[in-house]
Amino acid sequence: MPVTLDEAAERATNAATWVEENWSTWLNTGLRILLILIVALLLRMAVRRALTKLIERMNRSAQAVEGTALGGLLVNTERRRQRSEAIGSVLRSVASFL
C-alpha cells in the first residue's frame, strides 16, 4: 500500500514529537542506571578492601602468637593462615556476587 507524501510527513512529525516528549525520560532512566552502577561498584570495592584488611590483621595477630609459648601449642600456624585467606577469598567472592 503506497504512502502519500502528506502521510509520510505526518508520520515523521508524529515520530519527532514523540521523541521530543520522551527524551528526558530516557535520559533520566539512563542516568539513574549509571548512578546505581557507580554506587554498587564503590560499595563492592569498599567491602572487598575491608575484608582484605581483616584477613591481613588476623594473619598478623597469628604470626605474633607464633613466637610465644602459646604459639608452639597451636596447630600449624601456616595452615591457619591459609585457611583464613581461603575464607577471605570466599567472602570477597560472595560480596562481589551480591
Rounded to whole angstroms, the maximal C-alpha distance in the chain is: 96
Here the cell at position 90 is 570466599
- Is the pLDDT at 66 greater than 80, yes or no? no
* pLDDT at position 24: 84
Tell me the C-alpha distance between 30 and 32, whole Å: 5
Domain of 61 in residue numbering reads as 5-97
Count how many domains the chain has: 1
Q: Cβ distance 81 to 59 under 8 Å? A: yes
Q: Is the pLDDT of residue 96 over 80?
A: no
pLDDT in tens, 2-52: 778 788 888 888 888 888 888 888 889 999 999 999 999 999 899 889 988
